[in-house]
Amino acid sequence: MSNYSEQELRLLTDEVTTLFNSNSAWKVVGVQRKEKNGQVTDDLAITLTVDKKLPVNEIDSNDLFPESITIPGVSEPVKTDVQVGPTEYTAEATCYTLPTPGSDESTWVMPVSGSRSTHRPLSGGLGCSIMPPNGYDGGLVNSGTIGGFCIDLDDNTVVGVSNNHVLGGYQIRGDMEVQSVPMSAHTNSSGLTFWSLLSANDTTPSLAETRYPVYQRSSFDEYTSTKSSLDPLKVGTVKRAYPFTASNNKIDVAIFALDTTVSNLFSTTESWKPYGLARQHIDGGMDFATDSEIWTLMGDNEGAPCFKSGRTYGPLGWPGSYPYGSTVCSLSVYSVTSSTTVTYGGNLASGIGFIDQIRLRGDNTDASAGGDSGSFWCALFNEGNAALSAWKIIGLHFAGSGDTAVANKITNVAEMFNLSAYKGEDLDIGYKNTDIQVIDSRQSAVTAMIGNKMYWQAGSTKLPSTAVFDS
């Protein structure tokens, strides 16, 4: 790994974050291979990605990227590089014939049709969505992806995993400012402002739902948002989402609790297997890769085969094309620590910063498309050693641009959201140790006494968003 120790590589990660935060003109900063005359070299470098290279005399002196960087604790100055590539990613391949979005379902082809269809029991790599913001009959919601299943260590139950921007309604922290508008809450398209995912019937015109429902598949793929059509697709409810901040985000994640009343919804012997990944490759489930293992994807395991299964492009990567015969859908990691700007739209249209991300790219194929958000990224470690070879989960896909994809490190997801890998253990699904009471209609009172305990309002309001609170 270019003679850097793991401790030195962590110092490089910190320096990437410092550089990214120091200049708004530097949209993507990472650690990857240096290029020379269009060829990738063996040297690791701290890189700046730009839309196009300019002559030095056309660049503001404050925006010039340093020619090398001295980092205390690193044995020698670190090389730098400026490379051309995507500089902004959107939250959202050419291996398969794909339908035009929204076209008739009869135009779908395998394996894409499989990822977009209804599956029982559930597995990772399938399309999902939440209720339309205006409630039933309130328009269609584009699809995201169920990445897979994890153990929620808060209560030791099995939960489904996707992105905040897929399931959580773009939850944001109260002191965040976006587009110069102070935000202490999120305002949805129906004009309702809310602070937390407490009660669906307080933020949508759906008195039948206490929690926010999760559907597999989406109303967009079902071509309807009527309650009678969506009810059979309900697989659970949103359990919690990690809020975004204005900068230095590391994860875009939300989880949902499985509905215990739905028959054949979950299987300890089947649900851990991602759609499209042949069982013999992962018999017994997949572990989360460690930070040390992820770093080897730019060292001993560089070029390791990668795999992603998502709603829009189906299973991609080796052996993601199995059993469909494609050999060109190869995917690989090219940066294991990267800081980048991601555009979500709506209240987050100006883009927010993410640090310590994994970047991947496709060989003759696009690696990311809208609807694949929430997919798990997996990599095959030690491919040449049968005794050590293993597929492991390395990241949670949430953004991309063409042949480049961006994923949260699974180590950050696990640590910051208190999750562990699910490998078929016989554990409960649904909710544990919860006491939910719904107050009818909307309340103007700031507090409510329930069971001799005081609860503060955290539902919705039509008041303007504000970052100022009464003391």
Q: Per-residue confidence at 330, pLDDT binned at 50, 70, 90?
A: confident
Of 465 and 291, more confident: 291
* Token reading at 403: 């042949």
Pairing of strands 330-343, 390-401: unpaired
Mean pLDDT of the chain: 79
Of 89 and 162, more confident: 162
Task: Give me the residue spans of the domains in the chain.
Answer: 6-85, 88-471
Q: pLDDT value at position 144? A: 92
Q: Per-residue confidence at 186, pLDDT binned at 50, 70, 90?
A: very low
Task: Report in angstroms the alpha-carbon separations of 217 from 163, 214, 226, 443.
Answer: 15, 9, 14, 34
For 172-175, the CB contacts below 8 A with 24+ separation are 172/243, 172/244, 172/245, 172/347, 172/348, 173/243, 173/244, 173/245, 174/467, 175/467
Strand partners, 396: 408
Q: Per-residue confidence at 39, pLDDT binned at 50, 70, 90?
A: confident
Of 260 and 302, more confident: 260
Gap between the Cα atoms of 221 and 129, Å rounded: 10
187-238, pLDDT tens digit by residue? 455 555 444 444 455 555 565 677 788 999 988 888 888 989 999 999 998 8
From first CA to last CA, the distance across the chain in angstroms is 53
Q: pLDDT value at position 293? A: 95
Lowest mean pLDDT among 13-27, 32-46, 80-94, 139-153: 80-94
Gap between the Cα atoms of 309 and 230, Å rounded: 23
46-100, pLDDT tens digit by residue? 999 898 888 888 888 889 999 899 999 988 899 999 988 877 666 643 445 555 5
| pLDDT reading at 126 higher than 90 | yes
Gap between the Cα atoms of 455 and 471, Å rounded: 17
Task: Report in angstroms the alpha-carbon separations of 100 from 105, 113, 241.
Answer: 10, 13, 31
Gap between the Cα atoms of 201 and 257, Å rounded: 18
Q: pLDDT value at position 462? A: 47
| pLDDT reading at 342 higher than 50 | yes
How many of the other CB atoms lie within 10 Å of CB of 111?
Answer: 24
Q: pLDDT value at position 70? A: 93
What is the dihedral sign for C-alpha 209, 346, 444, 198? positive
- pTM of the full structure: 0.82
Q: pLDDT value at position 260? A: 95
Lowest mean pLDDT among 11-15, 116-120, 269-273, 364-368: 364-368
Burial 162-196 (b: 16+ CB within 10 A, else e): bbbbbbbbbbbeeebebeeeebbbbbbeeebbbbe
388-399, pLDDT tens digit by residue? 889 999 999 999
